[in-house]
Structure 1
Amino acid sequence: MNFVEELRWRGMLHTEMPGTEDMLNKGMASGYIGFDPTADSLHVGHLTQIMTLIHFQRAGHKPYALVGGATGMVGDPSGKSAERNLLSEDVLQHNLESVKKQLTRFLDFNTGANSAEMVNNYDWFKDFTFLDFIRDVGKHITVNYMMAKDSVKKRLEGDTGMSFTEFTYQLVQGYDFYYLWKNHNCSLQMGGSDQWGNIVTGTELIRRKDSGEAFALTTNLIKKADGTKFGKTESGAVWLDAERTSPYQFYQFWLNTTDVDAKSYIRIFTLLDREVIEAMEVEHDAAPHTRILQKALAKDITIRVHGEAEYEKAIKSSEFLFGNVGLEFLGELNETEVVGIFSGVDNYKIALSDLEQGINVADLLAVKTSIFASKGEAKKMIQGGGAAINKVKIATADDVYTTDALINGKFIIVQKGRRNYFLVIAE
């Protein structure tokens, strides 16, 4: 199966320029995707493009990952309703190094002729003067051509307008393509469907400036079946950096995918074969409650992003909350990891000095925290056997808790009923 066919059956392909598939079928080709370093981590929204490069390399082609040290200073207007803040050079450099490190997890940079390569467009723009740029690049693309782009028209029709900086973004990205075509024999640029206008500006510049031929391919933008934005949770974006989104939270994001979305995501975000996926779909449809698709999806992506050990830890974390893994498991985790497990539940802070003196359990649950609305409600739940601390049922409403109850010297786990967890942090 060739590269385009692979994207097509996985539901990833959006548009390809005529002749693209024929060009790729002639032998090894070079193609690239750009990643602007607007943060010091990529997020799951970038995974579609990462997967595209992975499939490109697996099909025998040479992938280039372009990190936008130059374009990151400008800001891509595509899909944006307002101009984004420009980053300082120090912040941008930090982001670049972080993004580079993440990309090396997914692509093979040591596999012979089609080894992946990483390039930074700052390297060819840093000495490119403004006058040289408008003379050597700007003269080849008309304002009429640039104004016709959807990303430009939408902004001009809006209330905020568009700065000259953002208006020229397509020329800067177009020159990236020209430079890679000229110096790295890169004949294909890929990206999300919102990048089509910027990509074909590059193919047009190659044609007009050097009478060359280049090609374009875009993938579908990923949306949830209910129309909400993919990759967002109540706490914000789902990042690939474990410091921003813990491996447990990352795993849970995929595990909690709906049945409809899981059927789409397992094709897009995993490397499982078609036969394997189709067999899983049949099994899933026969017993949806087993969530076989979600489990396979979460496992595949969590291992590739965070590694086998973190995946196993995420499984144990889930079993701690919803299964039979004991309290000793938390002793294996650091503070960040413990907080990560309980990021989706209410957290409360109490003074360490209060525990040193000893706190009556009803006061702990209804005065020092608001886990219960009142001490009376707390006592009633305790008497009914429905409240637990550190996975042990509270014996009586007169029980007193001290620092001896702290896990890792910092945490107390409270349960109201079987599945309602709360995290108490002593400081």
Structure 2
Amino acid sequence: MTSTDPHILDDLAWRGLIAQSTDLDALRAAMDAGPITFYVGFDPTAPSLHFGNLMQIITAARFQRAGHRALALVGGATGLIGDPKASSERSLNPPEVVASWVAKIRAQIQPYLNFDDPNPATMVNNLDWTAPMSAIELLRDIGKHFRVSKMLAKEAVSARLQSEAGISYTEFSYQILQGMDFLELYRRHGCTLQTGGSDQWGNLTAGIDLIHRVEGVGVHALATPLLVKADGTKFGKTETGTVWLDPDLTSPYAFYQVFFNSDDSKVVEYLKLLSARPRAEIEALAEAVATRPGAREAQRALAEELTTLVHGESACGQVLTASQALFGRGELADLDESTLAAALTEAGLVEVADPVPTLAELLRDTGLCKSLSDARRTVDEGGAYVNNVRAADADQPPASDSLLFGGWLVVRRGRKSVAGVRVKR
């Protein structure tokens, strides 16, 4: 951080990244006295991180760029249990599966933080200090410092207690393990700050209480807000499920569309929370939203920045090419098959058997036209396209040599209505 940069806490506050915190004045004083060590944790409860995790990684990168020391914890131990959900008990995964997910998630985190000099981040695994501990040691050395009344008051626990399913002792004990993580990282690395999402606040403060009881010192916690869409639903969810960081689970094209389709009322908030752009650039994009909303400059900037961050410049370039080519403003031949497939899946895809149906049938079956007569009328009026070429005969199937990569068709009605066809052979 240069002398002209805002203090990290001031920048986080302006961006709306501080949802809850302990004593900010004390944290500021500790930071002003020199670099502090902080940690953020990720549980391997799936083979990939998802969009909700991305904000935690980006926030950690902000702290590191400001000169503070980052610890990235991948929970090989806590991942075997899982943080309690408000709705139901988690399925427990085999240890070998969790171990493989630990490796995948560590590899996903690696590109976002600096693990080289100067000021390198450190990757840690809580299985390293949890596995050697006996049940008696856990109960005597750690468990005795937790008060059941406080544990019961935590939101996820209380919600489950009120449900028919209840909560198992396994998931009830999760907060003990996360609290122990903070204690161990304080002892091993001098860690004095834990960051996480606001839904983790109870677990964050469990570690603070434990360190205070065991070591007699005060440490800090800072929670970021949960991202929600304009309708109040979680931003990390789509109609097809979670927005994963793994391109095999959520394609770069689908990832881009999530952000490009951000509501005008929320996109500036997302830029503040997620973008590395400085304040002046974000304020300029906010002005564009207010005065030129149809141009979607802010949405495009956000989608391009995050897609490049997560998937790389080349993948983002393919996404942009696809976004143009599907609507006749670029060359379909410039796309690779995986990007084309992802784009058509998002646009709406139907599968047909060989021989390929007539164009009128394809227009009807993709939903671009309501009926065969509607399809024929659209073709007669010059409004139907196959692979960006205007179609002339509604009652003929597209030529077999027009299939992209031997099995794909881009069918369009007018300028804005596109669907995909996959020919199964």
TM over 0.5: yes
Match in the other structure for 1:33: 40
1:91 is matched with which residue?
97
Cross-structure match for 1:102? 108
Shift of 1:211: 2.0
CA 218–247 in structure 1, closer or farther in 2 if over 3 Å, else same: same
Aligned to 1:289: 294
Per-residue CA deviation, residues 119-145 of structure 1 (Å, 9 max, x unaligned), is 111111112111111111111222223
Corresponding position of 1:59: 66
Whether 2:396 is the aligned partner of 1:425: answer no
Deviation of 1:389 after TM superposition, in Å, equals: 1.5
User: Partner residue of 2:19?
Assistant: 14
Provide, for residues 246-303 of structure 1, a one-character-per-residue CA deviation record: whole Å limited to 9, x for no partner.
1111112111111121110111101111122123322432222222211211121111
Deviation readout 1:108-129 (Å, 9 max, x if unpaired) = 11132x2111111111111211
Amino acid at match of 1:293: A
Query: What amino acid does structure 2 have at the position aligned with 1:397?
Result: A
CA contact (8 A) 1:2 1:25 kept: no
Q: Provide the rounded CA distance (Å) in 2 between the counterparts of 1:259 and 1:360.
A: 40
- Partner residue, 1:177: 182
Superposed displacement of residue 381, structure 1: 2.2
Tell me how far 1:146 sits from its aligned partner. 1.8
Counterpart residue number, 2:3: none
Residue 402 (structure 2) pairs with residue 405 (structure 1): yes
* 1:141-156 equivalences in 2 (<5 Å): 141-156=146-161
Give the distance between the partners of 2:289 and 2:150, measured in 1 at CA: 49
SS at match of 2:41: strand
398-407 vs 387-396, greater mean Cα deviation: 398-407
Change (3 A) 1:278 1:398: closer
> What pairs with 1:213-224 in structure 2 (closer than 5 Å)?
213-224=218-229
Name the CA shift for 1:360/1:152 in 2 (closer, same or farther; >3 Å). closer
Is residue 20–residue 223 contact of structure 2 (8 Å, CA) maintained in 1? yes
Counterparts of 1:11 and 1:268, CA distance in 2: 7
Residue pair 1:20, 1:216 contacting (<8 A) in 2 also: no
Mapped to 2, the partners of 1:192 and 1:9 lie a distance apart of 17
| Distance (Å, rounded) in 2 between the aligned partners of 1:216 and 1:345 | 43
Distance 2:104 2:414 in 1: 42
Q: Is the 8 A contact 1:75 1:83 kept in 2?
A: no
- CA shift for structure 1 position 365: 4.7
1:242: which partner in 2? Answer: 247
Distance 1:290 1:49 in 2: 30
Larger CA deviation: 229-238 vs 343-352: 343-352
Match of 1:301 in 2: 306
Return the alpha-carbon distance in structure 1 between the equivalents of residues 155 and 273 of structure 2.
Answer: 26
Q: Deviations over 1:76-124 (max 9, x none)?
A: 11x5221111111222122111111111121111132x21111111111
Q: Helix, strand or coil: the match of 1:381?
A: helix
Deviation (angstroms), 1:21: 2.2
Aligned to 2:117: 111
The amino acid that maps onto 2:179 is G
Q: CA contact under 8 A between 1:206 and 1:214: conserved in structure 2?
A: yes
Counterparts of residues 196-235 of structure 1 (less than 5 Å): 196-235=201-240
How many residue pairs are counted as aligned between the two chains?
417
Q: CA deviation at 1:360?
A: 4.2
2:42 pairs with 1:45: no
One-letter amino acid of the structure 2 residue matched with residue 87 of structure 1 = N
Q: Which residues of 2 match residues 235-384 of structure 1 at below 5 A?
A: 235-330=240-335, 333-334=336-337, 336-352=338-354, 354-355=355-356, 360-363=358-361, 365=363, 372-384=369-381
Aligned position for 1:121: 126
- Please state how far the C-alpha of 1:9 moved relative to its aligned partner: 0.7
RMSD: 1.9
| Alpha-carbon separation, structure 1, partners of 2:346 and 2:397 | 28
After superposing the two structures, state which structure 1 stretch, 269-278 or 320-329, moved more.
Answer: 320-329
- Structure 1: 5+ residue stretches without partners: none
Superposition deviation, residue 178 in structure 1 = 0.5
TM-score (normalizing by structure 2):
0.93
Q: Which amino acid aligns with 2:342?
A: G
8 Å CA contact 2:35–2:69 kept in 1: the answer is yes
| Cα 1:397/1:301, change in 2 over 3 Å | closer
Cα distance change of structure 1 residues 261 and 364 upon mapping to structure 2, 3 Å threshold? closer
**Following the alignment from structure 1 to structure 2, what is the Cα–Cα distance between the partners of residues 327 and 7?**
42
CA distance in 2, matches of 1:348, 1:301: 29
Residue by residue, what CA displacement relative to the aligned partner does 1:25-62 show, whole Å, maximum 9, x if unpaired?
21111010111111111111112211210111011100
1:72 aligns to 2:79 (yes or no): yes
What is the one-letter code of the residue matched to 2:108?
Q
Q: For residue 85 of structure 1, what is the amino acid of its counterpart?
A: S
Look up the SS of the partner of 2:40 in the other structure.
strand
Query: C-alpha distance in 2, partners of 1:398/1:110?
Result: 63
The answer to whether the 8 Å contact 1:6/1:55 transfers is no
TM-score (norm 1): 0.92
1:232 Cα deviation from its structure 2 partner: 1.5
Q: Is the 8 A contact 2:328 2:388 kept in 1?
A: no
Q: Compute the displacement of 1:380 (Å).
A: 2.4
Q: State the SS of the aligned residue for 1:343.
A: helix
Contact 2:386/2:398, CA 8 A, preserved across alignment: no
Aligned residues of 1:105 and 1:304 also touching (Cα < 8 A): no
Kept after mapping to 2: 8 A contact 1:31/1:63: yes
**Shift of the alpha carbon at 1:400?**
4.2
**Residue identity matched to 2:106:** K
